[in-house]
Amino acid sequence: MLEGVTLMALEACDAIQARTRNSVYEIFLLDPKTGRALVRGGKYFAEPMEATVSGSTFGGCMLKAGWLGVGLRMEFYANGHRTVTSPVQSLRVERVDFGDGQFDSVEGGLVEIGSSRDH
């Protein structure tokens, strides 16, 4: 069974670091419900760019919307173009807590989700 993260379980301003076979992507969520995010990484997102995180795919036409999974490819939509990454090897979620007067604090608990395969 693949491990992954459901975008709707996250909050705006949470960040996902996704390591693929070829690149590292930083995904800063603007609206987890729609998948709207700032994305940086790989050759198509060398600079941060607003994009929609569509979900995960095996590389074909089937898409698991709103979910990123280890072993699958991420799919983004930006500037009218679909971008599909190489397979995800690990995911890390950093949750931001803006409560209790802590404007910048990050919760101590980071979620590490990795593949047990060696690539």
Share of the chain above pLDDT 90, in %: 73
Q: Is residue 1 classed exposed, middle or buried when 0-12, 13-18 and 19+ CB atoms within 10 A define those classes?
A: exposed
9-27, pLDDT tens digit by residue? 999 999 999 999 999 999 9
pLDDT band (50, 70, 90) for residue 103: very low
Task: Please give the mean pLDDT across all residues of the chain.
Answer: 85
pLDDT at residue number 48: 96
| Mean pLDDT to the nearest integer, 35-63 | 94
pLDDT band (50, 70, 90) for residue 59: confident
Domain borders along the chain are 4-114
How far is it, in rounded angstroms, from Cα 97 to Cα 107? 6
Phi, psi of 89 (to 5 degrees): -100, -30
